[in-house]
């Protein structure tokens, strides 16, 4: 079908004019490469920076100012990266690595008569040339792996189909390696099937794949719908083609391949004897005795298959193939089942069918050309995954607040809005699909598969943009965010962990019958730390902004997920990642989620065992490790400073970073690239590190100028921060509502707690607690003074109160001598100008650390002083003060959930203590009040401000 091509001896230089390629990426995440044949077409559509970068051509962007700080480097990084944003808002990229995908594209297209253009064929050849093993000329499971029969047999075959002659130096070298390994007869199951479809291997040499398995009762543990979704979706078209024994018609190329692929004579091979003949280098998951026994039984059945059962089985699996195509608009779950589905639909309906036309159209979504040539992507892209990370990076670093970044962020939000899946699949339960309404996919809405961590990261990105970026529109409604929460909660397994696409359906012993020798853990779904952490962080962030939706369910989900994370931690302290490489990837995500539920380096023995590997340094892995330390609130700056220095040293003058080693993996054995990680995680880490290191420095400065804490002092001490802030241009004080799992749950207090041995001063303890409890950063707080006198709590703690003004970003720099003056005891001469022109603080920047804190709220001074709110009370039974009613200011749902056991609609919080004995602020007589020690200190402050008599 395709004529021979005369190609160079190696792929060092492009086989086409790369300046003629254009990327179409303006259709809701689809990206399709097009080769312009005429000069006129090229002139009418000049290459963009995005086109040039993805092709490895010079972008000609100017060098940026040399960064002086980590934040400058992060800004430079995004200054470059925003040039790579597609018109529709996402960031397209290559997604290659596995070396068994492109052969499927080539063989599937060849046997169905589906054209590949000459320019595409040439660049496919160049890619395979460049990815051949440098020493032996073969190909592995992925392009950084050793040569295998699977990789070498299939890629050799693909090159021959594409037009490379058998005497080409690349082919001679590869054929020698293939023969050394034993020839194509030693291919694993997937290789045998592709070669059988091409008619260069005999179906008699393939273990039986009877479609009748789908006729079993669904309650059986072995029923295929219980298998992992990738395993079953590949098995379905394989079984269809096996039952039909489909094979391409013989031609000169096929006859020649029968001679080239084997050590022995093709026509003398004992094919049934080859069914379990797998080269050891390919065998990651060797056949078990149970699997071989099962194959023997199924092989015997094939000799006397019952026609009505075979017909019914074929009808059932063809229905499943059609439903998969229609559910995904012919994108399908992944490239393997897509090309197998193409062959199956062509066998059943022919090349004139609508199914054939749609597969041809969507096949192009998987074909990507990069600096090394053209290959088949691992899916139709990583659109959602990448956009979610860069959005979070920009918001958390503060780059989202810069005006020049508003437009790319708005486009990103618009893409996130469009990409959320609004409905369940067209074929839902009949196709064994999990719910999708409210989910975000891994790639595009059109592909339509729910993924637990993608839904979590997508929801986080939307909340970040809509709640933390000024003037950003609310495109995704509360109802749709609630739908996303419903998806996440529905995907939690009994263990508390989260899997990828759906709940675990089958028992682990199904791995005993794993027929795909090259992969591990593919027969059922598994819980993954990284999927679980995405669920925890997404739900925790959602709950801060929407505490009235499924509060109890979310709390239970997070609690069970954290329990799973603790159990999944390895003895050396890390977590093993199954989708990124490997420990640094999963550990970063695990520590992020644990930090959101109050577990840090100081508070959790689990977190203290964090492991970071500094060998064979890579920019992306270094960023993961540094971010893990920051999420854990690691107190020492030195390793983070070293990480920053290393990542900045590798930044190029235009703000970009070079692609280094593979970042991702799947199924235990196969690596895959995530090229945009070198932007999202570098920008994220550098920006966070800038703020984190400033925080450590600010805390150190504050400690030098505050009351020293002597750990050997017999008196136990606590410290609280009384944070004053303007919110919506209204001055007031920030308070918190204690969570149900904390002593005095459901009661009002200031942020604070016991002073630890590690705190260098009482003030340091107050600032640390404020950061941990409500995410109030020390560098935002301008300390005005220490409130006097300090009081004891009923438990015997001496509670030291500090008053500070909270700035919306970073407190103004104060000369050292002025700082010392402010660190004096407050007296009646202090006054505050309530009309002072300080910027307002966004309450969305503060976050309640569940379960310790249920809610954070702002009590305006104008409300605080209203007589109707005040009730006369006595502190410790003899000192008069005003208790302050805040029932209408704190959302009832938050107050209720401060103490689940004692709260209802009429009595929001019941104070659990003796009459007339004060501890901290609590609820009395059906009201939520600021009283007790919190109320007393607030009264002392108000008297100093002359707002109370």
Are 414 and 395 in contact by the 8 Å Cβ rule? The answer is: no
- Identify the active-site residue in 88, 365, 453, 483: 453
Compute the distance between CA of residue 412 and CA of residue 679 in angstroms, rounded to an integer: 16
Handedness of CA 494, 500, 506, 511 (dihedral sign): negative
Query: HSE of 823 in the Cβ direction (CA atoms, 13 Å)?
Result: 20
**Which secondary-structure segment (H or E) carries 784?**
strand 781-786
Hey, what long-range contacts does 829-835 have (CB within 8 A, 24 or more apart)? 830/784, 830/785, 830/944, 830/945, 831/945, 831/946, 832/724, 832/731, 832/945, 834/731, 834/861
Compute the distance between CA of residue 725 and CA of residue 742 in angstroms, rounded to an integer: 26
Compute the distance between CA of residue 519 and CA of residue 247 in angstroms, rounded to an integer: 26
DSSP SS3 for 421: coil
HEC secondary structure over 141-163: CECCCCCCHHHHHHHHHHHHHHC
Q: Strand 798-806 vs strand 717-727: parallel, antiparallel, or unpaired?
A: parallel
* Closest to 91 (Cα-Cα) out of 422, 396, 391, 453: 391
Are 672 and 98 in contact by the 8 Å Cβ rule? The answer is: yes
Are 798 and 716 in contact by the 8 Å Cβ rule? The answer is: yes
Query: HSE of 320 in the Cβ direction (CA atoms, 13 Å)?
Result: 28
Compute the distance between CA of residue 898 and CA of residue 748 in angstroms, rounded to an integer: 10
Q: Which residues does 933 contact at the CB level (< 8 Å), separation at least 6?
A: 791, 793, 799, 875, 918, 919, 920, 921
* Token pair of 416 as six digits: 């996130």
Are 798 and 718 in contact by the 8 Å Cβ rule? The answer is: yes
HEC secondary structure over 786-839: ECCCCEECCCCCEEEEEEEEECCCCCCCCCHHHHHHHCCECCCCCCCCCCCCCC
Handedness of CA 562, 566, 568, 572 (dihedral sign): positive
Are 203 and 196 in contact by the 8 Å Cβ rule? The answer is: yes
* Closest to 533 (Cα-Cα) out of 599, 443, 464, 623: 599
Compute the distance between CA of residue 646 and CA of residue 640 in angstroms, rounded to an integer: 10
Handedness of CA 642, 645, 650, 651 (dihedral sign): positive
* Closest to 394 (Cα-Cα) out of 71, 790, 837: 71
* Closest to 673 (Cα-Cα) out of 192, 151, 98: 98
Annotated catalytic, 756? no
Compute the distance between CA of residue 378 and CA of residue 579 in angstroms, rounded to an integer: 13
Q: Tell me the Ramachandran region of residue 189: left when phi exceeds 0, alpha when psi lies from -120 to 50, beta otherwise.
A: alpha
């839902």: which residue's tokens?
Answer: 428
Cis bond before residue 732 (omega within 30° of 0): no
* Closest to 61 (Cα-Cα) out of 31, 84, 90: 84
Q: Which residues are catalytic?
A: 453
């Amino acid at each position: 079908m395709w004529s021979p091509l005369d190609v160079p001896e190696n792929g060092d230089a492009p086989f086409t004019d790369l300046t003629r390629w254009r990327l179409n990426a303006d259709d809701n995440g689809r990206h399709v490469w097009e080769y312009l044949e005429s000069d006129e077409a090229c002139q009418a559509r000049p290459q963009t920076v995005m086109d040039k970068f993805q092709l490895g051509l010079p972008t000609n962007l100017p060098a940026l100012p040399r960064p002086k700080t980590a934040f400058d480097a992060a800004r430079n990084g995004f200054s470059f990266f925003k040039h790579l944003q597609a018109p529709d808002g996402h960031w397209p990229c290559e997604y290659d690595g596995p070396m068994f995908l492109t052969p499927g594209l080539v063989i599937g297209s060849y046997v169905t008569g589906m054209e590949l253009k000459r320019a595409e064929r040439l660049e496919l050849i160049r890619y395979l040339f460049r990815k051949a093993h440098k020493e032996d000329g073969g190909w592995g499971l992925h392009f950084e792996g050793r040569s295998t029969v699977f990789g070498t047999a299939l890629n050799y075959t693909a090159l021959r189909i594409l037009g490379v002659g058998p005497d080409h130096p690349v082919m001679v070298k590869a054929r020698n390696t293939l023969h050394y390994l034993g020839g194509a007869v030693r291919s694993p199951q997937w290789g045998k099937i592709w070669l059988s479809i091409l008619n260069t291997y005999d179906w008699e040499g393939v273990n039986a794949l009877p479609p009748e398995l789908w006729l079993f009762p669904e309650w059986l543990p072995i029923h295929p719908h219980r298998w992992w979704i990738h395993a079953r979706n590949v098995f379905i078209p394989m079984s269809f083609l096996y039952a039909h024994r489909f094979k391409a018609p013989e031609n000169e190329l096929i006859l020649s391949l029968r001679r080239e692929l084997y050590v022995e004579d093709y026509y003398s091979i004992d094919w049934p004897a080859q069914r379990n003949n797998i080269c050891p280098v390919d065998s990651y998951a060797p056949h078990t005795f149970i699997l071989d026994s099962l194959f023997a039984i199924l092989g015997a059945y094939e000799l006397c298959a019952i026609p009505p059962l075979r017909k019914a089985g074929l009808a059932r699996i063809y229905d499943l193939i059609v439903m998969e195509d229609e559910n995904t608009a012919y994108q399908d779950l992944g490239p393997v089942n897509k090309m197998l589905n193409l062959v199956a639909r062509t066998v059943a309906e022919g090349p004139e069918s609508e199914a054939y036309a749609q597969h041809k159209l969507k096949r192009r979504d998987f074909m990507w050309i990069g600096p090394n040539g053209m290959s088949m992507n691992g899916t139709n892209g990583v659109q959602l995954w990448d956009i979610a990370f860069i959005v979070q990076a920009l918001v958390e670093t503060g780059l989202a607040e810069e005006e020049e970044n508003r437009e790319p962020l708005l486009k990103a939000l618009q893409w996130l809005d469009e990409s959320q899946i609004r409905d369940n699949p067209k074929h839902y339960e009949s196709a064994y699909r999990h719910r999708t309404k409210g989910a975000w996919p891994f790639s595009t809405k059109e592909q339509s598969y729910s993924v637990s961590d993608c839904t979590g990261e997508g929801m986080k990105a939307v909340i970040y943009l809509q709640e933390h970026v000024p003037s950003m529109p609310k495109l995704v409604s509360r109802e749709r965010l609630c739908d996303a929460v419903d998806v996440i909660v529905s995907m939690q397994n009994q263990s508390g962990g989260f899997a990828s696409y759906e709940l675990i359906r089958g028992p682990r012993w199904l791995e005993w019958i794993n027929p795909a020798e090259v992969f591990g853990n593919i027969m059922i779904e598994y819980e993954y730390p990284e999927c679980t952490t995405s669920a925890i962080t997404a739900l925790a962030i959602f709950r801060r902004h929407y505490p009235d939706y499924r509060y109890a369910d979310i709390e239970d989900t997070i609690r069970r997920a954290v329990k799973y994370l603790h159990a999944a931690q390895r003895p050396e302290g890390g977590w093993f990642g199954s989708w990124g490489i490997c420990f640094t990837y999963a550990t970063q995500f695990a520590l992020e989620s644990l930090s959101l539920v109050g577990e840090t380096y100081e508070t959790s023995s689990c977190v203290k065992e964090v492991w970071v590997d500094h060998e064979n340094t890579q920019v992306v892995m270094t960023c993961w490790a540094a971010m893990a330390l920051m999420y854990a609130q690691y107190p020492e700056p030195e390793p983070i400073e070293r990480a920053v220095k290393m990542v900045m040293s590798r930044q190029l003058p235009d703000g970009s970073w070079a692609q280094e080693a593979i970042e991702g993996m799947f199924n235990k054995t196969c690596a895959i690239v995530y090229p945009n990680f070198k932007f999202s995680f570098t920008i994220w880490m550098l920006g966070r590190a800038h703020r984190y290191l400033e925080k450590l420095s600010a805390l150190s400065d504050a400690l030098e100028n505050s009351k020293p804490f002597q750990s050997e002092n017999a008196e136990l001490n606590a410290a609280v921060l009384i944070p004053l802030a303007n919110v919506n241009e209204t001055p007031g004080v920030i308070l918190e509502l204690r969570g149900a799992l904390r002593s005095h749950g459901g009661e009002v207090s200031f942020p604070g707690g016991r002073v630890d041995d590690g705190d260098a001063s009482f003030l340091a303890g107050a600032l640390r607690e404020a950061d941990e409890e409500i995410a109030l950063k020390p560098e935002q707080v301008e300390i005005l003074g220490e409130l006097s006198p300090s009081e004891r709590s009923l438990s015997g703690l001496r509670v030291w109160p500090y008053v500070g003004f909270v700035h919306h970003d970073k407190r103004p720099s104060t000369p050292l001598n002025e700082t010392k003056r402010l660190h004096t005891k407050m007296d009646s001469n202090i006054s505050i100008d309530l009309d002072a022109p300080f910027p307002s603080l966004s309450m969305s920047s503060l976050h309640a650390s569940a379960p310790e804190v249920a809610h954070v709220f702002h009590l305006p001074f104008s409300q605080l002083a209203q007589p109707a709110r005040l009730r006369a009370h006595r502190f410790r039974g003899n000192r008069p003060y005003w208790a302050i009613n805040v029932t209408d200011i704190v959302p009832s749902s938050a107050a209720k959930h401060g103490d689940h056991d004692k709260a209802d609609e009429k009595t929001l919080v019941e104070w659990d203590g003796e009459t007339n004995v004060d501890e901290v602020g609590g609820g009395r007589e059906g009201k939520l009040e600021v009283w007790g020690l919190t109320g007393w200190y607030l009264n002392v402050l108000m008297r100093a401000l002359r707002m109370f008599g």
